[in-house]
Amino acid sequence: MGAVIRVESLVKEYRDGGRVGPITLTVGQSEVYGLVGPNGSGKTTTLRAVLGLLRPTSGRVEVLGADPFEDPKRVNSRVGYSPELPTFPAFFTARKLLEVTCRLKGMSLQETKREVERVLDLTGLVRHADRRVAGFSKGMIQRLSIGQALVGDPDLLILDEPMLGVDPVGRVHIREVLQEERRQGKTIVFSSHELYEVERVSDRVAMVYMGRTVLEGSVADLLRPSEDVVLEVRVKRPPADGVRNAILRTEGVRSLEIDGQALRVVFDGSRDPREEIADLLVRSGCGLLEMRTAPPSLEDVFVKVVRDGVHS
């Protein structure tokens, strides 16, 4: 199965001197793909290029086998889009807005009726369907925007910051909607600046930083324990120097910090020295109370990449 989206060395130079790129990423069929990066790093620019809404200065963008800028019809009929900070005509009700969206997508009146009900139900907006958008909260606007993207059951969903301004309960619901779409084989690309959110829902991620992709790959690969693992230990009595040195000499251990009863051991994830460390602490009478690994998060990975990148 070919890639759904292929972006190769995309560069966008804005007239006022703003620049994004080079961006390179590949999104496969039925993936949830997270585009993550700080404010102004190029997420929206990348998504707009994928949608054919802007012409790249250089590089190549291919979506569902076509160039979205040259062949927008072919791409747009199969793509649903929820923009960053969506706005709607205030006097529309949610239902009316979705009806108009269906009609613009070429649906008959009968199809429209069915589709509006389906989308209202999916996004949890049934209760609010006949209220004017003017009275909608941020979270409701975001749901409506995602609902609009779902109209016509597109193969590819592009969501620019879908969780922005949504409360925790709303987020759970949006995550469920996305998971359901993915179960049905849809491909979902979304942007966020929250690493935790992206780590939770994505199969693959790209991180953009200062306009460039600095990291791309599957979340599982990026978090593979080949990197350092942090072990947090609590003991009853601080270990004596002998124990401290013995821990430091244990194969795979890189560093040890002791702060009273709390120990922080960093070890090379390719080897697991936990049993030896526990043994040392117990035998030396330190009174082992607690031991847990803190798995690397995407945040650790990204911070490392950015820091290494800045120094190189």
Ligand X SMILES: Nc1ncnc2c1ncn2[C@@H]1O[C@H](COP(=O)(O)OP(=O)(O)OP(=O)(O)O)[C@@H](O)[C@H]1O
Interaction site with ligand X (CB under 6 A): 14, 16, 18, 20, 37, 39-45, 84, 193
Q: Which of Mg ion, ligand X, none is residue 18 near (CB under 5 to 8 Å by kind)? A: ligand X
CB of 44 to Mg ion, least distance (A): 3
227 binds, among ligand X, Mg ion, none (CB under 5 to 8 A by kind): none
Nearest of 194, 190, 183, 184 to residue 204 by alpha carbon: 190
Output the smallest distance, CB 199 to Mg ion, in A: 19
- What is the residue type of 47? L
Query: Which residue, 14 or 90, is less far from Mg ion as judged by CB?
Result: 14
At closest approach, how far in Å is the CB of 310 from ligand X? 18
Number of H helices, E strands in the chain: 11, 13
β partners of residue 259: 262
Q: Which does 196 bind (CB under 5 to 8 A by kind): Mg ion, ligand X, none?
A: none
CB of 240 to Mg ion, least distance (A): 54
Could you say which of ligand X, Mg ion, none residue 42 binds, taking C-beta under 5 to 8 angstroms by partner kind?
A: ligand X
9, HSE (Cβ side, Cα atoms, 13 Å) = 2
Task: Choose the one of Mg ion, ligand X, none that binds residue 281, judging by a C-beta under 5 to 8 angstroms depending on kind.
Answer: none
Q: For residues 2 and 165, which CB has a smaller minimum distance to ligand X in the complex?
A: 165
Contact 76, 101 (CB under 8 A): no
Q: Which is nearer to ligand X, 42 or 252 (CB)?
A: 42
Neighbours of 6 (CB within 10 A): 16
DSSP 8-47: EEEEEE-TTS-EEEEEEEEE-TT-EEEEE--TTSSHHHHH
> Please, how many CA atoms are within 13 Å of residue 154, restricted to the half-sphere of its CB?
27
Whether a cis peptide bond, with omega within 30° of 0, leads into 72 is: no
> What is the closest distance, in whole angstroms, from the C-beta atom of residue 149 to Mg ion in the complex?
16
Q: Output 39 or 312, the one with its CB closest to ligand X.
A: 39
- Which CB sits closer to ligand X, 93 or 142? 142
Pairing of strands 5-13, 212-218: unpaired
d(CA 231, CA 4): 40
Fill in the DSSP letter of residue 239: P
Q: What's the Cα-to-Cα distance from 211 to each of 45, 188, 207, 299, rounded to whole Å?
A: 9, 22, 10, 18
Tell me which of ligand X, Mg ion, none is bound by residue 59, counting a contact when its beta carbon lies within the kind-specific cut-off of 5 to 8 angstroms.
none
What's the closest the beta carbon of residue 47 comes to Mg ion, in angstroms? 8
- Return the number of the residue (42 or 152) whose C-beta is nearest ligand X: 42
Q: What is the DSSP letter of 240?
A: P
Is the separation of the CB atoms in 155 and 3 below 8 Å?
Answer: no
For position 44 contacting Mg ion by CB under 5 A, the verdict is: yes
Q: Provide, rounded to whole angstroms, the least separation between the CB of residue 43 and ligand X.
A: 3
Binding mask 52-91 toward Mg ion (x if CB under 5 A, else -) reads: --------------------------------x-------
41 binds Mg ion (CB under 5 A): no
Which positions lie near Mg ion, rule CB under 5 A?
43-44, 84
